[in-house]
Amino acid sequence: MSAEAADPGAPLRRRSRPRIDLRRLGRVALRGPVSRDRLPDAISHVAEAHRAHHPDADLTILRRAYVLAESSHRGQMRKSGEPYITHPLAVTLILAELGAETTTLTASLLHDTVEDTEVTLDQVKEQFGDEVCYLVDGVTKLEKVDYGAAAEPETFRKMLVATGNDVRVMSIKLADRLHNMRTLGVMRPEKQARIAKVTRDVLIPLAERLGVQALKTELEDLVFAILHPEEYEETRALIAAATGPDDPLETIADNVTHTLRDAGISAEVLIRPRHFVSVHRVRRKRGELHGTDFGRLLVLVGEDADCYAVLGELHTCFTPVISEFKDFIAAPKFNLYQSLHTAVVGPEGAVAEVLIRTHRMHKVAEAGVVALGNPYAQDPAAAPQTEPSDERADPTRPGWLSRLLDWQESATDPDTFWTTLRDDLAQDREITVFRTDGGTLGLPAGASCVDAAYAQYGDLAHTAIGARVNGRLATLSTVLSDGDTVQPLLAQDTASGPSPDWLDHARTPAARIAITGWFSDHPDEAKPDPETADATGPGAQGEPSPEREVPVGAAPARGRPGPRSNGVVVEGPDAPVRLAGCCTPVPPDELTGFVVRGGAVTVHRRECPAVAAMQEIGRAPVGARWEDGEGRESDAGCRVTLVAESFGRPRLLADLTEAIATADAAIVSATVEPPSEQRVRHTYTLRLPDAAGLPGLMRAMRDVAGVYDVSRAQHPAPTG
C-alpha cells in the first residue's frame, strides 16, 4: 500500500487487488449471514487481505464478529444511502491492508455496535473476550445527552487514555476517520469543515506520532481538499500536467537499478509519487516545480547493512546533494520511522530525492504501530518475566504518550484539555535529554529547563531556581538541545513558587498547566508588585532574574522569609523584619521600611528605587534603624548584592569567586550576563559575617585583573 498515493480519493489498496465495490458489499450484507461452514461473501475481501499478512490466521472469530455486526446494524443506512454495515467493513479492510492482527479486525467490525445498536459491552466481552471489549469501548463515543458540548473533547480524552493501555484503540479510530472523510461529501459544507479541522488538528498529528503514514497522508489530502479547495485544484492541475511518458524519475530509476545490479546489491527500485499536500509544500518551498519534484525514488533491500551499501554506491556513482542526507536508521524518529534519505543529481542536472530502507522498515513506515501486530503479546521465544507488571511498554518512542496522559489528568476542564491537546500535538518534533541519575526525559523540540524541571519533579518544580546543563549553570529559560544533560536545581524552601515569566518558556502542557494551577491557587502571586518582589530581590520570581541570574547556592524563598529582626529596629508595633533583597541594606546604610502582607516590615536602603515605587502607590514609610544606632550586626551576618564590571578574559569568574571566598563571604546567588563589546557584568548576592568587611571585599574584587568597577546593586523596583 502506498503512503503517497497521487489521488487522495482513491482507497488504500495493493496494486494486485481490484477496487472494492462497497455498494455491492452492501447488497450482499442485506442478504444476511450465511451458513456456519463458510465465510460470508461480504468479508471475503477482508479475509484475503488479512491472510496476505497473516497466512495462519484463524478467521472463525471474524465470521462471528461480522454476523453480530450485520445483524445489529441491519436496517440502518448511512447518509450516503449505503447500508451501514459497509462502514465497519471498509474500516476493517483499511486495517487489514495495513497488516493489523485478528483481534484488531474483530474489534473494528464491532466498533459501532455498542454506540449505535442495542449490543452491550457485556455481550461483546462474553462473546469475544476482554481485549476486543476494551478496544470497542475505547472507540465508543460519549453521549451528547450526558456531556453536552463537552462530548467531543471528553470522547477524545477517553480514547487517549485507552490508547495509553493499548495503541490499537487509536489505530481503529484513525481508520474509522479515514473512511468517514472519504465519504464526507454528503455532509453540509459547514460540517465538512468542522470535521476536517478536528482531523487536521488532532487525528493527523496522532497518525504521524503513531507512524501510520499510509493513513496520515490520505487524511492530509482529504483535509486539504475541503479546507483549501482552490489550492487543492491548482495542485491537482500541476500533477496532471506533469504526468506523461517522459518522466525524468524513470530515467534516474533505471540508472540506479543498473548501478546497484552491477555492484551486486539485490534491491527493488520504485517511484513514489508525492501526495497532494507534499507537492503543495514543495511548491511553496522551491517555487517552480520540475519533473523530479513530483515523486521520490524508493530503494528496498533485505538487511540494514544493504541500506548503507546502496548509499555508498549512489554517492560514488552519482553526484550527491550532501545537505539532503539524513540517517534515520542510526537515529530513528520518535514514531518508529527508519530510513536513509539522500538526493542525487541525474541527467541534465535533475535532482532526485532517494529513500533507502529494508522491506521491514518500509512496512513500519507505512503502517507504524499497526505493523507491530499485538504489541503487548508475549514473545514465545523470550524468557518469561519473573514478576508480572501492570504497565505495558509504549511501543512508540517512550515519552509523548506518557506525557500526554500525565498532563490530561490535570486538565479537568474540557476546554482546557481540548486547547492544550491541539497545542501539544502541533509540536511535531521531539528531543531526548539525559538526567544526572542516568534516566532520560522526552521533551518537545524547543523545551526549556522549566519543562525539564516539571517533567522530572512534577509540582516540586515550583521551587526551581535554576539548572545545570551539561555541567554548567544555566537559567530556567535555557532552551535544551537533543542529547543535553540537565539537572534542575530546587530551593530548600518548599513554600516558594514559580514566576509568571516561566509561562513564556514552558513548552510542555504539563509545565504550563502546573504553573497556571499554582497561580490559580495563589492569586495574590500572579503579578509581581513592590510589596512581594522587594523581599527577595533578583530572582524573586523563582527564576534567576532580571539579569539571568545563575544560582550558586540555595536562593531565598519567593516572598516567604522567616520572621527575624536582622539587627534592625523599626518604629511601631512588634513585627517580623526582613531586609529587602532588591537593595540588600547593610550597616551603616540609612534605612526605611514598609508594612507588607502578613504584617511584616520590609526594610530598604533609602535610595532604593523600590522606596519611591511604594510611596507612589500610597504606602506610608516606617522608620527603621540599625540596633543601638551603631550598625551592630546580628549573629547571622549580613547580606549584600555587588555588581562587578570587567573586561572579558579566561578564568575571570574563577578569580572573582576566589577573591570572594578569601574574604569569608558566602555566595548566595550569582549572575553572569552575556558579554557586550568584550565587557562582562557579574552580579553577586553575598552573605558576610560582618558588614565591616564589606569595603575590604569590594577592594579585593576591584584588584582582580580585568575588573574596573565594583558597586552596590541598585535593582529597579518592580511595577505591578
Instruction: Note the residue count of the chain.
Output: 720
How far lies 310's CA from each of 173, 318, 342, in Å? 38, 12, 11
How far lies 675's CA from each of 479, 670, 681, 686, 709, in Å? 19, 15, 8, 22, 16
With contact defined as beta carbons under 8 Å apart, do 629 and 509 qualify? no
Q: How many Å apart are CA 105 and CA 173, to the nearest integer?
A: 12
Q: Which helix (H) or strand (E) holds 356?
A: strand 351-358
Query: How many other CB atoms are there within 10 angstroms of residue 107's CB atom?
Result: 30
With contact defined as beta carbons under 8 Å apart, do 681 and 644 qualify? yes
How far lies 21's CA from each of 42, 364, 512, in Å? 10, 28, 49
With contact defined as beta carbons under 8 Å apart, do 434 and 485 qualify? yes
Q: How wide is the angle at C-alpha 1 spanned by C-alphas 40 and 168, nearest 5°?
A: 70
By three-state DSSP, how is residue 238 classified? helix
With contact defined as beta carbons under 8 Å apart, do 682 and 656 qualify? yes
DSSP 8-state assignment for residue 170: H
Sheet holding 472-474, edge to edge: 440-444, 430-435, 485-490, 464-469, 472-474
Residue tagged active-site, from 82, 115, 118, 387? 115
Helices marked H in 287-384 — which ranges?
Answer: 304-317, 359-367
With contact defined as beta carbons under 8 Å apart, do 156 and 169 qualify? no
- Residue in 512, 360, 370 with CA at minimum distance from that of residue 450: 512
693 burial type by CB count under 10 A (0-12 exposed, 13-18 middle, 19+ buried): middle
Sheet holding 577-579, edge to edge: 568-570, 622-626, 591-595, 601-605, 577-579
Q: How many Å apart are CA 610 and CA 613, to the nearest integer?
A: 5
116 annotated active-site: yes
Q: How many Å apart are CA 74 and CA 86, to the nearest integer?
A: 11
Helices marked H in 80-129 — which ranges?
Answer: 86-98, 102-109, 113-116, 121-128
Q: How many Å apart are CA 332 and CA 425, to the nearest integer?
A: 19
- Residue in 515, 579, 552 with CA at minimum distance from that of residue 685: 552
SS (H, E, C) 137-157: HHHCCCCHHHHHHHHHHHHHH
- Residue in 528, 474, 524, 482 with CA at minimum distance from that of residue 674: 474
Q: How many Å apart are CA 333 and CA 431, to the nearest integer?
A: 10
Q: List all residues 6 or more positions away from 356 whose beta carbon is below 8 Å from its beta carbon.
A: 299, 301, 307, 310, 311, 339, 340, 341, 342
Q: How many Å apart are CA 173 and CA 541, to the nearest integer?
A: 44
Dump strand ranges (E) for 167-250.
none
How would you classify the pairing of strands 430-435 and 485-490?
Answer: parallel
With contact defined as beta carbons under 8 Å apart, do 218 and 8 qualify? yes
Phi then psi dihedrals of residue 383, to 5 deg: -70, 140
DSSP 8-state assignment for residue 77: B
Q: How many Å apart are CA 547 and CA 568, to the nearest integer?
A: 29
Residue tagged active-site, from 112, 116, 233, 571? 116
Helices marked H in 395-493 — which ranges?
Answer: 400-410, 414-426, 449-457
Q: How many Å apart are CA 695 and CA 588, to the nearest integer?
A: 12
The catalytic residue positions are 115-116
